[in-house]
Amino acid sequence: MGKEGHEVRMSLQTLKVLEAFLENPADQLSGADVHQRCHLASGTLYPILIRLETAGWFVSRWEAIDPSKAGRPRRRQYRLTPMGLRRASEVFAGFNRGVLA
52 belongs to the binding site for another protein (CB under 8 A): no
Q: How far from 23 is each of 37, 70, 79, 100, CA to CA, in Å?
A: 10, 27, 12, 10
Least distance between another protein and beta carbon 46 (Å): 4
24 belongs to the binding site for another protein (CB under 8 A): no
Selected binder of another protein within 48, 52, 80, 85 (CB under 8 A)? 48
31 belongs to the binding site for another protein (CB under 8 A): yes
* Contact (CB, 8 A) for 59 and 77: no
54 belongs to the binding site for another protein (CB under 8 A): yes
SS3 state at 60: strand
Q: How far from 29 is each of 15, 18, 76, 96, CA to CA, in Å?
A: 16, 11, 8, 25
Nearer to another protein, 8 or 22 (CB): 8
**Residues engaged in binding another protein (CB under 8 A):** 3, 5-14, 30-32, 35, 40-48, 50-51, 54, 72-76, 87, 90-91, 94
